[in-house]
Amino acid sequence: MLLTHEEKAILSGATGTEGDRMALEVVTETARMLGAERLVDFHSSHIDGCLYHGDSGALYCEKLVENGARVKVPSTTNVGALNLLKPDQSRLPAAERKMAYRLMVAHERMGCTPSWTCAPYQAGARPALGQQVAWGESNAVAFTNTVLGARTNRYGDFLDIACAISARAPYYGLHMSQNRHAKLVLDVSGLNPALRAQSAFFPVLGSMIGRLAGETVCAVTGMPGGASDDDLKALCAGAASTGAVALTHIVGITPEAPDLSSALGGAAPEQTLSLTHEMILEARDRLSLAKAGPIDSVALGSPHFSTAECQEVLRLARGTAFKVPVYICMGRHTLTELEASGADKALAALGVEFVVDTCVVVTPILPAEPGVMMTNSAKFAHYATGNTGHLPVFGALSDCVQSAQAGRVIWDQELWT
């Protein structure tokens, strides 16, 4: 592998700190395993490895801190395992809570921006078209490539912080133009235009993209213009959860895909699939393991809810309180905006519990006894049972609000006819 004089000097210990040498060694060895010929400089990083999965992560990061490591590019933090504004919200055992806190602190000590959100692109971190970045967290990666047109692979825990410290990443995969062309085309133009305009359609389509594409770059044709960041966020999260998707060309929306030919790089697709209404309904139904009856909670915000989405909950509720806990996961930037408008008090009066800095699927916050959790998130629905033991019910946001008010599953089937 080709290394610059500066990279060789850091690896030999001739320049930089021991932490710099450690981080670059991780990056170069990973690059060799991936078959990369060189490393690439990049502009920003989003760090997924600040979520506690065991003591080794905290000890690794504390070793980097001890050896003088500091991030060299702007680096935001993904969710941790704790709501730092309300640490006892998580039922982690005391020893694990302590280590989870140490892990979050270690990232701050290395100079990361303590954003603690899985949607950093809604908190001001929006790379420019064509910029090389090294991001972790699957939905953030998919959104950055798909919606913003920046270039990143899916960087895993601990490699992400090593890249941020060295300001270098393996030059392979989606960093390279030739690997960003679509091979598979999904055509949704035959679906009812009213359905394609529904916010609930986007996470369902995302879950289909993940299952059909896997890690293949695909192009979606027939999508209406004017989709919101929240809609695209939901699509990217669904695709990145059910598959290994890091880039989807939504023709007419993705900056690199003003038309299908551009998305394909001028080549013919290897496969084209026309999605039918029946396929959409099947994908929707796969997101629910419970179909009817009482629910124990509603969970919203995977990825983290925006201020606009919180305002929509208020609008849909029309002042009627909830009969079951409604957990809304969000970043601090959203909570600050809600507090400025007073919307936080209105939501709390309905029965909303704010989950900040973290998420109910990655740390134990939901009711201890497994039950039924309703959500409008394909990502929550995909991970709920394995991570929490709760059975998911998927519905539109309006379904979630009405079900929370009734304490049982309510579906508006007209959305899908």
User: Which residues on adjacent β-strands are paired with residue 272?
Assistant: 185
Residue 122's closest CA among 15, 234, 217, 22? 234
Rounded Cα distance between 37 and 170, Å, is 8
Angle at 409 between CA 408 and CA 415, to 5 degrees: 145
Residues 6+ apart with CB under 8 A from 27: 39, 159, 162, 163, 166, 168, 169, 170
* pLDDT value, residue 415: 87
Alpha helices, H only, 134-200: 138-143, 159-166, 193-196
Q: Are 300 and 325 in contact (CB under 8 A)?
A: no
Amino acid at 23: A
**What's the longest Cα–Cα distance across the chain?**
67
Q: Does domain 5-176 have CATH number 1.20.120?
A: no
- Give the pLDDT of residue 10: 98
315-358 pLDDT, tens digit per residue, is: 999 999 999 999 999 999 999 999 999 999 999 999 999 999 99
Alpha helices (H) in 201-246, listed in sequence order: 201-213, 229-242
Per-residue confidence (pLDDT) for residue 135, from 0 to 100: 98
pLDDT at position 225 is 87
Amino acid found at 214: G
Listed as ranges, residues in the chain with pLDDT below 70 are none
- Asked: is 287-416 a CATH 3.30.499.10 domain? The reply is yes
Q: Domain residue spans in the chain? A: 5-176, 181-285, 287-416
Tens digit of each residue's pLDDT (9 = 90 or more) over 281-304: 999 999 999 999 999 999 999 999
pLDDT at position 223, please? 96
**pLDDT for residue 417:** 85
Q: Do domains 5-176 and 287-416 have the same CATH topology?
A: yes
Residue 6 neighbours by CB under 8 Å, 6+ apart = 15
